[in-house]
Structure 1
Amino acid sequence: MIMQRKDAPGSGRYDVEGLVDELYTTPPSDFVSRREELAAEAKADGRVEDARLIHAARRPTLAAWAANLLLRSQPAESRRFLELGRALREAYRTLDADGIKQLSGQRSSIVSALSRQAAALAREAGHQLSDAAQQDLVSTLRAVLADQDAADRWAAGRLESALAPPADFPSGTAARASAARKPARAPTAPRSSRTGANDELAERRHQRQEQLAQARKTVTTADQRLRRQRAEQADADASLQQTRDRHAQARQQVTAAEEQLRKARGEFQGAEHEQHEAEERCRAAADAVTQAEQVAQEAAQEVERLTVPVR
C-alpha cells in the first residue's frame, strides 16, 4: 500500500506529487481503488486541489506501468539508459558514423535486458506481461532512446500508455550513408573564423567522446547485469524443474496411497457387513438356545410330574 508522505515532520503538508508518482507504480488492477482512496482522504482533509490532482491521474496500461516501475525501482540504470539515449541521438544528429556504429550495436541487447528486467519486476508485483504488453514495453524503451520528448515523458515516471519510436529515426547503416553524402566543405574561411570554428568543433568532439565513453560504460554494466540475470534465471529454471519433479513424484505417491485407501475402505465395508451378519446369526442362535432351554426345562418338569406315584 502507498504511504502518505509529508514534506517535513510536523509540517502537516502532504507531498501530493510524491503520492501521484507512487500511484503510477501501483499495479493497474489496484490503481482506481487506490486513487479514489487517496483523493477521498485529501478531500476529507480539506485539500481540494490535491484531491483534484490525484483524481486526474489516469490508470496506465500494463506496459506503461511496467516502464514506470522500472524507472522507480532501478534509478541508477534508468539514468544510464537516458544518458545512452542522449549520446545516441547526438551521434545521429552529428552524423558520427563511428559513434553510431558502436552505440547501435549494443542498443538491442540493452533494450532487451531492460525489458526483461521490467517484466521480472511486474511478475514480482503479481502481474505477468502478455506478449503484446512485452512488445509495447520494448517499443517504449526504443522510443526513449530515439526521441527526447519520449525520454522526458518516461523520466517523469507517469506514463499512461506505451510510447512508439519515431518512424524517421535512422538505422546505423542509413546514418553512415548520410554521413558519406555530406556536402563538401565551403571555401576556407579567414584564419580567425576558422580558428573559432575549429575550437567549437573540438569542444563538440570532446563532449561527444565523453558521452560515448559514458554510453560504453552503460553498455558494459548492462551486459554484466544481463549475464548475471541469465545465470540467475538458469538457476531458477533448474530449481523449478527439481520442484516439478518432486511434485510429480509426490503426486504419484498420493495417487498410490489413495488407491490403497480406496481398497482398504472396500475391504473394511465388506468386513463390517460380514460382522453385522455374524452378529445377527449369533443373536438368532442365542435366541434359539434360550427357547430350547425353556422347552427342555418344561419337558423335565413334566417328566418329574409324571413319575410321582398316583395315590
Structure 2
Amino acid sequence: MSDDAARLDEAAAELLALPPARFTAARNERAAAAGGALGRGIAKLRKPTVAAWAVNLLVVDGQLGEAVELSRALHEAQDDLDAAELARLGRQRRQLVAALARRAADLAAEAGTPLSAAVTDAVEKTVNAAVVDATVAAVVLTGRLVAAIDLADLDASALGAAVAGSVPAAAPAPAPPDDLAARRARKAAERAVREAERAQADAEREKAAADKRLATARERADRLRERVDGLRADLRRAEAEATEAEGTVAEHEKTQRDAAVAARDAARARERAEAARDAGADA
C-alpha cells in the first residue's frame, strides 16, 4: 500500500468517526489542508450513513474487535462441541451482538445523535455480519464504514462500496489457541454473556416496573372516571331537583301574590263597609 493510500485510510477513519452532521465540513477542511492527490482522495470520501457511523464508533471503542476475536476462538472450538453446547453458544452470540448494538446506540447518543429503531436494527445486522464472517469483519474493523452491511444482501461489490479507502482482505484465521488462551477466550465469552444477561435482566425489571406503574395509573384513572361519572349523576339529579324546586317556588309566589290581592281586596271591602256603617250612624 502506498503512503498516500495509507494516509487516505487514516484520514477516512478519523473523519468517519465524527458525527455525520460534522462530516462534510471536516472532510472539506481536511482535503484543502492536504492538497494534491491525497486532498482529492479525501474530498471524494462519502458521508457515512448513521448506522455505519455508529458501527465506526463501536470499532473505536474497542469492544467489537474483542467480540470478533472471541467469535473466531469459539469457531475453532466448535468441532469438539455437542449440539446442545453449540446451541448455547449460538444464544450467547446473539446476546453479544444485541449487547454490542446497544453499546453502539449509547455511544451515538453520547455523541449527540440518538439512533432510531430502524438504524439500531441496521447496526445489529452489521455487527452480526462482522462476528460471523471474517471478510466482513476485516472491512468493519477498519472503522471506515460508509454504509451498513447485511449478510442477507451481501456480495463482493456491496462490501467494497461499504468501506471508504482501501478494501482489506480477510484477516487470517488465528492459530489454534493454547489452553491459557482458550480459557481466557472462554472467560471473555462468559463475561460478555453475563453482561448481556444483566442488561436483559435490567431491561426486564424496568419493563416490569413500567407495567406496574401503568397498571397503577390505569386503576387510578378508572377510579377517577367512576368518581366523575358519579358526580355527573349527582349533578343531573341536583339540576332536576333545582328545576322542581324552582317550579314550587313559582307556584308559591303565585299563591302569595293571589293571597296578597285577596287581602288587599278584603281590606278595601272592610273599609267601604266601615265607611257605610259610619255614614248610617251619622244619619
**Which TM-score tier does this pair reach, normalised by the shorter chain?**
0.5 to 0.7
State the number of aligned residues: 181
Q: 1:146 to 1:166 in 2, by over 3 A?
A: farther
Residues 31-83 of structure 1 deviation map (CA, whole Å, 9 limit, x = unaligned):
1121111101212xxxx1221231232111111110000110x22x2332011
Distance (Å, rounded) in 2 between the aligned partners of 1:51 and 1:18: 13
- Alpha-carbon distance change, 90 to 55 in structure 1, aligned in 2, over 3 angstroms: farther
Unaligned runs of 5+ in 2: 1-5, 155-174, 214-283
State yes or no: 1:81 paired with 2:61. no
Is 1:219 the counterpart of 2:207? The answer is no
Q: Rate the CA distance shift 1:116–1:52 in 2: closer, same or farther, 3 A.
A: same
**Aligned-pair Cα RMSD in Å:** 3.5
Q: 2:58 aligns with which of 48, 64, 70?
A: 70
Pairing 1:284-299 to 2, within 5 Å after superposition: none
Q: How does 1:1-311 map to 2 (within 5 A)?
A: 17-43=9-35, 48-72=36-60, 74-75=61-62, 77-91=63-77, 94=79, 96-97=81-82, 100-165=86-151, 207=177, 213-226=183-196, 227=198
Distance 1:215 1:30 in 2: 38
Q: Secondary structure at the match of 2:73?
A: helix
Shift of 1:110: 0.7
Cα gap change, 1:230 to 1:20, in 2 (>3 Å): farther
Letter in 2 for 1:51: G
Q: Per-residue deviation at 1:218?
A: 2.3
- What is the CA-CA distance between 1:20 and the residue it aligns to? 2.1
Structure 1 gap segments, 5+ residues each: 1-13, 169-203, 242-311
Match of 1:260 in 2: none
For residue 85 of structure 1, report the CA deviation from its aligned partner: 2.3
Identity of aligned residues (%): 34
Alpha-carbon offset, residue 87 of structure 1? 2.7
Do the aligned partners of 2:64 and 2:100 also contact (CA within 8 Å) in 1?
Answer: no
* Residues 139, 209 of structure 1: alpha-carbon distance in 2 compared, 3 angstrom cutoff: farther
After TM superposition, the score normalised by the length of structure 1 is 0.50
Give the secondary-structure state (helix, strand or coil) at the position aligned to 2:131.
helix
TM (norm. structure 2) is 0.54
**Is this contact kept in 2: 1:91–1:100, CA < 8 A?**
no
Q: Distance in 2 between matches of 1:228 and 1:131?
A: 18
Greater mean alpha carbon deviation, residues 17-26 or residues 105-114: 17-26
Matched residue SS, 1:57: coil
Q: Per-residue deviation at 1:97?
A: 3.8
